Amino acid sequence: MAKSSYAVTIAGGGSTFTPGIALMLLKEHDRFPVDKVIFYDNDAERQEIVAKACEIYFKENAPELDFSYTTDPEEAFTGIDFVLAHIRVGKYAMRELDEKIPLKYGCVGQETCGAGGIAYGMRSIGGVIEILDYMEKYSPDAWMLNYSNPAAIVAEACRVLRPNSKIINICDMPIDLMDKMAVMCGLNDHRDLQYSYYGLNHYGWFTKIFDKQGNDLMPQIKEHMAKNGYLDGISHEEGQEQHIDESWVHTFGKAKDVYAIDPETIPNTYLKYYTFPDYVVETSNPDYTRANEVMDGREKKVFGACRKVIETGTAEGAGFEADAHATYIVDLACALAENTGERFLLIVPNDGAVSNFDETAMVEVPCIVGSNGYEKICQGKVPQWQKGMLEQQVSVEKLVVQAWVEGSYQKLWQALSLSATIPSAKVAKQILDDLIEANKDYWPELK
């Protein structure tokens, strides 16, 4: 697939992350030459604010770039090489309900975990499949790089509904955690590390961390984790606002307690929602959740900056910056296009990668990526503690997808009842009935 230049569609053109990703594509032009960028969204009004501002930026900084934006699928997906997908069906208004409805019943209210993640998953499946179908219809040789949440449920839905499609599901959280581990060890970032990892998305463990010379960094990292969780890995020069809001500081610190459960491995931060749900609920404000934090923070900031660019007619001084954190997307696209054979953590069918776990599970494991796709690196057997947790969580995710496909109230009730974040089937049913009412415009009808 190696070409002199590439055409890219960003699905979710109205996202607050879109300007940073578009600017990052420009910044990485030398190693991943993109000559055509299309924004696609089904919300024309929201996308127009972001797209018009980016259009002004591109005219000033990259006039040679062929840029357009559209709500028409044929325009958006014809003649492209990659789709970068970060969609949020229902936007932040629905995220707020995902978080607040479970909290009303004393349960974890979180974007991708527990009842909130299940609700979000039920909205996301149709949207991701729709974009994948558009891509395959209009550009059958293209790759879709999907980092839309909740990635675990979306990936399982793709396995069931589109098993042969050219889609790769990837998440930035392990990359962010590896960046923090690199800082702990005096290194630059995740590219300086070699690693072993297994789990589901937002539900996994690092088992080995080496530097490029093969030195074992686990003892050093464990020392930091036992004292302060991931807090020692926060660089003071870091500008990743989505990961240093107050709620994230709590999460990085709480990893110390999650680590203590199994000090042989380094946990993903999201495991706190399943291992300490009581703590999470106690420290949550049911009237002001993470969704409110984002709407009052990043969303206002990004859309304010975009409106200012449009009003003044220039992007100078607007504070537009490339999202350095998103360079992993270009790394992955380069690996596919240029056959680099680089290692990535991807969400892929297990098929023996974790040998004592469900073969059909969509596991998050290291893979070698080249122009023909990926090859998994086997992680062997997982210990009993992790196996028990994984069996429970993968069953939740599979039941959610089955509920969506079959329109089954029963299976969605089972999924919620099985979640480690919900104490009983009674509470699960109460939450489910509220979520059905809230999501009547987005979920399939359940019977």
> Helix or strand or coil: residue 220?
helix
Is 202 assigned to a binding site? Answer: yes
Is 290 assigned to a binding site? Answer: yes
Is the full-model pTM beyond 0.75? yes
Question: Is 270 annotated in the active site?
Answer: yes
Is 378 assigned to a binding site? Answer: no
Residue 1: per-residue pLDDT: 64
Residue 246: per-residue pLDDT: 79
Residue 243: per-residue pLDDT: 47
Please identify which of the residues 197, 203, 270, 374 carries the catalytic annotation: 270
Is 158 assigned to a binding site? Answer: no
Please identify which of the residues 172, 192, 323, 331 carries the catalytic annotation: 172
Distance CA 404, CA 424 (A): 22
Q: Per-10-residue mean pLDDT for the chain, 447 residues long?
A: 88 95 92 96 97 96 96 98 96 98 98 98 98 98 96 98 96 94 96 97 98 98 97 70 70 97 98 98 96 93 95 91 85 94 97 98 98 96 98 98 98 98 98 98 97
Residue 241: per-residue pLDDT: 41
Residue 237: per-residue pLDDT: 57
Q: Quick one: which H or E segment has residue 51? A: helix 44-61
Is 149 assigned to a binding site? Answer: yes
Residue 235: per-residue pLDDT: 74
Q: Which is nearest to 294 in space by CA: 93, 19, 114, 22?
A: 93
Distance CA 257, CA 229 (A): 8
What's the residue count for the chain?
447
Residue 356: per-residue pLDDT: 98
